[in-house]
A = this chain, B = another copy of it.
Amino acid sequence: MTIKELAHICGVAVSTASRAMNDRTGVSQETRARILEAAAQHGYVPNSSARSLKITSTRAISVIIQGEPSRLLINVLQLLEEEFAAAGFTTTLTHVPVRRAHAATVERIVREGKFGGVVFLGRYGDGEPAGSSELTRQLAEIDAPMIFCTTSDYSGTSYPHSSVSVDDYAGGLELTNHLTALGHRRIAFVGGDSEQGRGHAWALRLAGYRSALESKGISVDPGLVIAPSLPAQLYTVENGYESTRAWLSRGRVDATALIASCDAVAVGAARALHEAGIAVPADCSLMGFDGLDIGHYLVPRLATIAQPLSEIAAATARVLLATIDDPARPTEQVRIRGRFLPGESVTKPHPAAV
């Protein structure tokens, strides 16, 4: 059923039916009621294509996720939807495969002009440094309100778009400080490489780890920074397991604690430690990052930094909507402090370490 048929049934013009359906002024109370009733009775649903073809300022947001979304991103997506819905905006998720030409797809979405704004959720591009990637450069040329959510560029170089994320650096710092306060000196970091990771969450967490150690006068041992065995799937349980196993196979390193680049990596690392006969936390303490629900139920319960997802979603919506209202608005980099969640996976250093 089209609006034309609906109008015919009610004996009114199409324009009147449209006004009634869209809750617009300029229709008498009774005419509106009659039309709405007929619409409900006949199950009339406006054709959204025709609608968006006419509508100029589309109150819609496109959320773009690249690759397989993690549990965390799904939770953020949920919250983003709620935030935007509260402001009267629709949210549409577009899923961009990692392999395909990402920039082209994004450009297409933006150029189509169906959306009032775009949220990039999670990583984007090919994992290059956020501020200097080819994609970022291309995006800078596209004139549309956009924001990066849970992706940040700690390097602080000029950054063409707004972003919102947990303060990964401060989190890495805090986790490490917890461990040094307990007396740990030989602390390993798994899931990140020191090279080519600028702008990545793990790289910022690693930077926090380095700073914390240095501020305590502990020199960072390169042998304790464990490169990812599966660089294509950094934040996965598999990567945590394989990386830690490869590291342990290289011989005794005397670490008394291990910080994982995220909770999932921590789970994999815990398994690798277990298989090597190293008990958590008796022989080696373990820290995660993200605050996933599941970490709270593991045995031992995982110590971690919880990402403030609600605040991240709220800030993302706030900044993007403000940018839509005022495109000339300066960009904003929002970093929100995470909350430390103590766990059973951490204790004082064992004299005979890993």
Residues of B within 8 A of A299 (CB): 270-271, 274, 299
Contact B298 A112 (CB under 8 A): no
CB distance from A243 to the nearest CB of B (A): 13
Interface of chain A: mostly helix, strand, loop or mixed: helix
Query: In the assembly, what is the distance between CA of A274 and CA of B297, in Å?
Result: 10
Whether, in the assembled complex, A74 has its beta carbon less than 8 Å from a beta carbon of chain B, the answer is yes
Chain B positions within 8 Å of A298 at CB level: 267, 271, 298
- Nearest residue in B to A85 (C-beta to C-beta)? B97
Q: Which of B48, B108, B297 contacts A45 (CB 8 A)?
A: B108
A268 within 8 A of B: yes
Stretch at the interface among A24-32, A49-57, A148-156: A49-57
Q: Whole-angstrom distance from the CB of A79 to the nearest CB of chain B?
A: 11
Contacts of A113 in B (CB 8 A): 47
User: In the assembled complex, how far is the CB of residue A25 from the closest CB belonging to chain B, in whole angstroms?
Assistant: 25
Known A68-B78, A69-B74; contact A238-B293, beta-carbon cutoff 8 A: yes
Q: Is A114 an interface residue (CB 8 A)?
A: yes
Q: Check: A93 CB closer than 8 A to any chain B CB.
A: yes
* Interface presence of A81 (CB below 8 A): yes
**Closest B residue, CB atoms, query A241:** B297
Q: Which residue on B lies nearest to A69, using beta carbons?
A: B74
Please indicate the chain B residues that have their CB under 8 angstroms from the CB of A50 in the complex: 49, 53
Give 1 or 0 for each of A28-69: 1 = CB within 8 Å of chain B CB. Answer: 000000000000000101011110110000000000000011
Q: Mark A200-241, 1 if CB is under 8 A from B, else 0.
A: 000000000000000000000000000000000000111011
B45 lies within 8 A of A111 (CB): yes
**Is the beta-carbon distance between A45 and B112 smaller than 8 angstroms?**
yes
Residues of B within 8 A of A93 (CB): 93, 95
Is A134 close to B, CB under 8 A?
A: no
Contact A48 B114 (CB under 8 A): yes
Known: A69-B74, A93-B93. A267 touches B238 (CB 8 A): no
Indicate whether A71 reaches chain B with its CB closer than 8 angstroms.
yes
Chain B residue at minimum C-beta to C-beta distance from A50 = B53
Determine whether A5 belongs to the interface, using a CB cutoff of 8 Å to chain B: no
Set of chain B residues within 8 Å of A69, measured between Cβ atoms: 74
Offer 23 A-B interface pairs, CB within 8 angstroms, sorted by A. Answer: A45-B108, A45-B111, A49-B49, A49-B52, A49-B53, A50-B53, A68-B75, A71-B71, A93-B95, A237-B293, A237-B294, A237-B297, A238-B293, A241-B297, A267-B297, A270-B299, A271-B297, A271-B298, A271-B299, A271-B301, A294-B294, A298-B298, A299-B299
